[in-house]
Amino acid sequence: MRRQRMAALTLPAVLLAAPLAAQTTVIRGGTVLTVTNGVSEGPILIEDGKITAVGGEVHVPDGAEEVDATGMFIMPGIVDAHSHIAAESINEGSVSVSSMTGTGDVVDPYDINIYRELAGGVTTSNILHGSANPIGGMNVIIKHRWGADAAELVFEGAPPGIKFALGENPKRSRGTPPGVQPRYPATRMGVVDVIRQAFLEAEAYRQEFRDYEAAKARGERLLPPRRDMKLEPLVEVLEGTRLVHAHCYRQDEILQLLRVAEEFGVRIATLQHVLEGYKVADEIAAHGAGASTFSDWWAYKVEAYDAIPHNAALMAERGVLVSINSDSAEEARHLNQEAAKTVKWGGMTEEQALATITINAAIHLGVGDRVGSIEVGKDADLAIFDRHPLSTYAVNQMTFVDGRMLFSREKDRAMRESAAAERADLEAKLAESEPPRRGPPGRGTPGPGAGPSGSEGGRR
Amino acid sequence: MSSLFRRGAVRGLGPLVVLVLAGGPAEAAQLSSRAVADAGPREWAITGGMVHRGDGTVIAEGTVVLRDGLIVSVDEGSAGPAGVFRLDASGKHVYPGFVTALGDLGLRGGSAAERPGRAARPGAGAPPTPSRGPEDRPGTFSWQLAADSLTLDDDRIAARRTAGFTSAVSVPSRGIVSGRAAFVNLGAGDPRDLVVGGDQAVMVRLETLGFRSFPGSAMGVIAYIRQLFLDAAHYDEVWRLYEEDPTGLARPRHDRALAPLVLAAAGEQPVLLPANLDKEIRRMVRLAAELGLRPILYGGHEAAPAAGFLADAGVPILVDLNWPQADPDADPEARVPLRELRLRDAAPAGPAALAAAGVQFGFYRGESGRSGGRGSGDDLAAVRTAVERGLDREAALTALTSAPAEIFGVADRVGTLAAGKIANLLITDGDIFDEGTRIEAVFVDGVIHYPDSAASETDDDAGAREAPGGNR
Amino acid sequence: MNSERTSKTAATAGLLAAAFGLAAAADARAGQQEGAWVIENARIHTLVEGADPIESGSIVIRDGRIVEIGEVSAPEGATVVDASGLDVFPGLMDSVSQLGLTEIGAIAATVDTAELGEMNPHLKAATAIHPASEHLPVARANGITHAVVAPGRLGGFGGGGSGISGQASIVHLDGWTVEEMDIEAGAGMVLSWPTLSTRSFNPATFQPERRSFREAQEAYDKAVAELGEVLAAARRYHEAGSADSRRRDVRLEALSPVIRGEMPLLILANRAREIRGAVEFTKEQGVRMILLGGAEAWEVTDLLAEEDIPVILGPTQRLPGHEDDPYDRPFTTPGELHAAGVTVAFATFGSSNSRLLPYEAGHAVGYGLPQDAAIRAITTVPAQLFGLEEDFGTLEEGKVANLIVVNGDPLEIRTEVHHVFVNGVRVPLDNRHLRLYNEYRNRPRPR
């Protein structure tokens, strides 16, 4: 259904090349928190971006880069299942169904938060559309390959997904400005209705194409139906090839979503926020949805008033796969601390806690075979902390993505110095080349947006 | 249009030339400015100048003969035919007329008040019914041809011409698909006579329509463009099938937004896509590739790092001469992001990188404000800055002349000084890229327009008048 | 001896109540008991300057105060809390919060944080603190025993407008009424310092707006001048004294303690320039200043040290203000200020997240703030800043018994709070979250 026209312009090969450095690195010393196979000793061998050995006698090829992690704690790179960084827009709020949009179209490789989060040990993030509509836009999963261009940031091979949203945000409970026609829906009843109608529409659309293909096969002559980029992602949802990540809070809306999805044979991949998930954990587990929640935010709105910090632990107890996400460029910088809160509130084990920000999140995003634990064959995405990462005092020292050290405290310090020097140089250079600052204000100063061919300079 | 000559033709001539008509100097002296403008000499021989043909070749002492708006011949040292106006350009330089490769010249005069797209903008007058999706064709005016709404009642035309620009690519500037571009000569007379190419490219602008109207976000606009071109391709397909044999087929619906996009959707007409920063350049090239479009990018301030990428993709780009600069009204203590400093430094070096990578590019003057551009300085000065930053002079000339002509598919008509081509050219008292070089004469369609002091004097006024309102 | 001699069990029960919710009392206040208490076998972190922790000792509490500390035996009739293996610290103090002023952020009806108008020195936070707010027990359960509650819009860089939003009140996070909670109703005058910004956001049009630097500077200068005029008027009003028969002006009256230097101005300022402006202003005016927020305080450490201006830092866990800032700028700022000799306290500036106070402090430890300074910054330092050091901030005989019993370092997230004493009474750790946890943890499996 997603046949593309033959491109008149072919993509340069460079766009498709995975940014893997063919290099070998060995990390020695330190405690390895594998998350899936308990705590282990090093060394960790990394070849061509993949983990090729963990512990034991490791044959290290000549010329391998040596990283000394003595006394440190090595954990899998953190996976954030709910993020809005690195996107130039995240909400297409004008419509109730914005599935034709996608954050993948507006990835911003310059967003400094990619780096800041990398410094906090985050290596994979799920860049979601906002929660303005019952059916939102498509998401994109990125790796924090700081310095790469937008296409290279994208987690190659990750399954596609889409955002749904329930409750106060899509029903616009904060009101509509005067003079603006309110947008349907305005209630939770309407939210479910929008989702159901969209699924029905997608089914009809799929049928239209099936009918067309069948008729064509019979040799009938007829006009091809129009491709609808709003419905195609929803057809993929119906067919189980696109993951649904659904923003939700209250238990009733969670159930309604699960039921409407089941009506169409759809499994919701993840319930996002799902702050009242603990009230319907059994139902969530039975449906097979994952739950990606915050550690402890509450009371900022009515549907968050019953939020409790034990939510993650409670859902996990009932068999739900739980991850802790950030939904915030700030919070993402210390997801290790957020995970620690599941130990404090609800009594998760340390390994379970670490799993909420690594392997569980990776499984939620359909990339559990690639990232989320320290295992042979997985991507060498690692964070190395100076203390146990569940400690408040732990500071991430190095982050590896695809085996490349893209952050280290040491590199960062060096970068600060070079940036300061560059700034000084540029300021001096620009002070010379650019016209001096304008005199007293009050004279006509062209404002921003003085359109194409704004004011004309003559010969001077 | 005679405004350029209001102050008298002779004054504008300066020390440049002696007009020699067959009948003798006396007649030339008696020539009224009115006559020049209305009828003007139809035949000229420009002799003795260093002729830069615009194709990389230079004739040290060349003769360019013009007749009835066309170049009759360009050769070395000939005297040219008798009985024509003669212009002794000894010691001077002759160049093809410059092209400002994108803008809305000729579309913003009194009669261009009809501003397509305006009604679709919330906050501009009474809010219309908000667009609820691609099917509402938000901000789409693909049926608008710039060539249909040209006016000469636009002060900017004279100013541009004075600065050596004899042609412009004009396109309506409101909406997401704001219309189709015309390649026009910046001459005088009836606007209908100025169109060199009337339907050269589809203009796309990444404009959002506010929070309540689709598309309200950057990704919404891209999603819309994707759907629109898919729809146009589909439109083409179903109509073809229908017209082949309508028997038994449901009749497709007419769509005035799609019909004009059929060529573009098939990759047969270029689509102008905005791309200023490296990330935007890559994003737009990829989008075009996905949709099978033939892109012309515009913006290009961060072209340097993308130059190799553009070369590989074979995509041309129009570079905005409005180099980003510090905001003169900014807080002196505000820390400017390093990447903005980098951009301000690197933007004028972009054309050199493009030239080195073999990317085809032209120049235009874009919206100020984007990436800090302030719209100060004239275009030629901005090109000179690019030359100072490593752009080869010949490449700079190409970017001002033949490259935009090729990009917009009119290189068979304009862009170089060659026999049979449109007589757009200028004469300068030195190398055009040297500081202080003055433009002494400008020909558009074989008609001489002097850089006129009146026009120069009005520049500041024009700037002051236009700037605050701009085209916002 | 009281029946709670089974204190080991009680401690365990408390822990279980906290962590697993097995024994939470149905009545929120069932655990509260008047009379004498003794906490035995505890490692006591008195936080007295220069004193080492008491490795194993007792604390006797009576009539709301610590009456004995050290190697003492339990007095007759006291309820014993066995704190073997546990640590006792002074109760944590959130130096700026909005506890009790807001319940559900998105519902205006539940929010009493900021009054209209820009000159409200006569308004007091204590007037609007809701003793039954669900936020209080939540904060308390994580060891926050008392807090400064400040009126105003405290978030962000200059997002909240400028002016005097009212007086901050210090309260115990326990009490049947706000009067019982009261520690100091007029603890400080909250002033949001004018911001000098060329960019603003127009909420009416939903559009960012720009003005020239000159215009911004003029607006800023005018706002600062107006503040000076208000203080001048307050001074005239004060000097005229009671002999003046004019109608009482409660606004100017409320500023009297400020101009007399008895009440600090709690000045919310984040940008370096505005911090400098505020310091200069208070110096000129001869009034006491405590800086709130201080995101760019690192840029003016020398000035703050020189002028002895204490800083109540906004959340450590925030993003750097500028894209070129070091990624850890907000994390290192507390350590840098401390090293320069600036007095530093931490605050959450919030309500629902007040319980995270120890982690705001703890986060700075990894980035250079000494651990003991971090603990002091949420106990002794704020007590001193608000002139409460006679009663709060350390564990000493005679001090108000606001203290916590924990199983380790309170700045570590995994550390659990076992007992909380507020005003000499052990308060239950029960709260909304625990109740919901217990309720739904016991939900039968659906059929």
Q: Is residue B68 domain-shared with residue B109, that is, in the same domain?
A: no
Three-state SS for chain C is CCHHHCHHHHHHHHHHHHHCCCCCCCCCCCCCCCCCEEEEEEEECCCCCCCCCEEEEEEEEECCEEEEEECCCCCCCCEEEECCCCEEEECEEEEEECCCCECCCCCHHHECCCCCCCECCCCEHHHHCCCCCCHHHHHHCCCEEEEEECCCCCCCCCCCCCEEEEEEEEEECCCCCHHHHEEEEEEEEEEECCCCCCEEEECCCCEEEECCHHHHHHHHHHHHHHHHHHHHHHHHHHHHCCCCCCCCCHHHHHHHHHHCCCCCEEEEECCHHHHHHHHHHHHHHCCCEEEEECCCHHHHHHHHHHCCCCEEECCCCCCCCCCCCCCCHHHHHHHHHHHCCCCEEECCCCCCCHHHHHHHHHHHHCCCCCHHHHHHCCCHHHHHHCCCCCCCCCCCCCCECCEEEECCCCCCCCCCEEEEEECCEEECCCCHHHHHHHHHHCCCCCC
Q: Which chain B residues contact residue C206 at CB under 8 A? A: 211
CATH at residue B265: 3.20.20.140
pLDDT at C31: 47
Q: Which residue of A has its CA nearest to B299?
A: A452
Whether C89 and C403 have beta carbons less than 8 Å apart is answered as yes
**Same domain as B63, residue B38:** yes
A275: its two tokens:
């702050």
Same domain, B184 and B261: yes
> What are chain A's domains?
20-77+372-418 (2.30.40.10), 78-174+183-371 (3.20.20.140)
Q: Is residue A336's pLDDT more than 60? A: yes
The pLDDT tens digits of the residues spanning B348-367 come to 999 999 999 999 999 999 86
So what's the pLDDT on residue C240?
85
Per-residue pLDDT of C51-75, as tens digits, reads 999 999 999 999 999 999 999 988 8
> Are the C-beta atoms of residues C189 and C121 closer than 8 Å to each other?
yes
**How many Cβ pairs within 8 Å bridge chains A and C?**
128
* Residue B221, in any domain of the structure: yes
- Smallest Cβ distance to C273: which of B211, B333, B337? B333
Chain A residues touching residue B328 (CB < 8 angstroms): 437-438, 445
A 189-228 residues with CB < 8 A to B: 221-224, 226-228
Number of domains in chain B: 2
Is residue B465 a part of any domain in this protein? no
Tell me the per-residue pLDDT of A349-404, one tens digit each, with 9 for 90 and over: 999 999 999 999 999 999 999 999 999 999 999 999 999 999 999 999 999 999 99
Q: Name the residue facing A282 among C106, C411, C445 (closest C-beta).
A: C445
Q: With beta carbons under 8 A apart, name residues in chain A contacting C440.
A: 278-279, 281, 314
Q: Are residues B209 and B307 in the same domain?
A: yes
pLDDT at C1: 40
- Do the Cβ atoms of A423 and C104 come within 8 Å? no
Interval C80-84 mean pLDDT: 96
- CATH number for C1-91+393-447 (one of 2.30.40.10, 3.40.50.10860, 3.20.20.70, 3.10.580.10): it is 2.30.40.10
Sign of the CA dihedral with B427 first, then B428, B432, and B438 last: negative
Q: How far apart are CA B74 and CA B96, in angstroms?
A: 12
Global confidence as pTM: 0.91
| pLDDT tens sequence across B76-107 | 988 889 889 899 999 999 999 999 999 999 99
Residues of C in contact with B334 (CB under 8 A): 198
DSSP A370: T
For residue C160, count other CB atoms closer than 10 A to its CB: 17
Looking at the fold, whether B134 and B231 belong to one and the same domain comes out as yes
Q: Is the per-residue pLDDT at C217 higher than 50?
A: yes
Asked whether residue B87 falls in the same domain as residue B143, the answer is: no
Q: How many residues does chain B have?
A: 472
* Cβ-based contacts of C218 with chain B (< 8 Å): none
C272 to chain B: closest CA residue: B333
CATH 3.20.20.140 for the C92-391 domain, yes or no: yes
Supply the pLDDT for residue C26. 39
Closest Cα in chain C to B341: C324
Domain boundaries, chain C: 1-91+393-447, 92-391
Asked if residue B82 and residue B206 are part of one domain, the reply reads no
**Which domain covers residue B65, as residue numbers?**
3-97+426-449
Residue B440 falls within a domain, yes or no?
yes
Task: Give yes or no: residues B69 and B108 share one domain.
Answer: no
In whole angstroms, what is the distance from residue C319 CA to residue C270 CA? 13
Cα B185 off chain centre by = 10
* Cβ <8 Å between A390 and C443: no
Question: Do A392 and C317 count as a contact with CB atoms less than 8 A apart?
Answer: no
| β-sheet bridge partners, residue B442 | B426, B449
- Condensed to tens digits (0 to 9), the pLDDT of residues C347-390 reads 999 999 999 999 999 999 999 999 999 999 999 999 999 999 99
Contact (Cβ atoms closer than 8 angstroms) between residue B183 and residue B408: yes
With the CA atoms of A101, A107, A113 and A119 taken in that order, what torsion angle do they form, in degrees rounded to the nearest 10? 120
Give pLDDT, residue C325: 96
Q: Give the pLDDT confidence of A183-236 residue by residue, as tens digits.
A: 899 999 999 999 999 999 999 999 999 999 999 999 999 999 999 999 999 999
Question: Between chains, do C106 and A301 touch, taking CB under 8 Å as contact?
Answer: yes
A2 Cβ under 8 Å from any chain B Cβ: no
- Shared domain for B62 and B159, answered yes or no, is no
Tell me the nearest-neighbour CA distance from B218 into chain A, angstroms: 6
Is B359 part of a structural domain of the chain?
Answer: yes
Of the partner residues B234, B282, B439, the one whose CB lies closest to the CB of residue A151? B282
Neighbours of chain C (3+ CB pairs under 8 A): A, B
Interface of A with B in 411-430 (CB under 8 A): 419, 422-423, 426-427, 429-430
CATH number of the domain at B90, please: 2.30.40.10
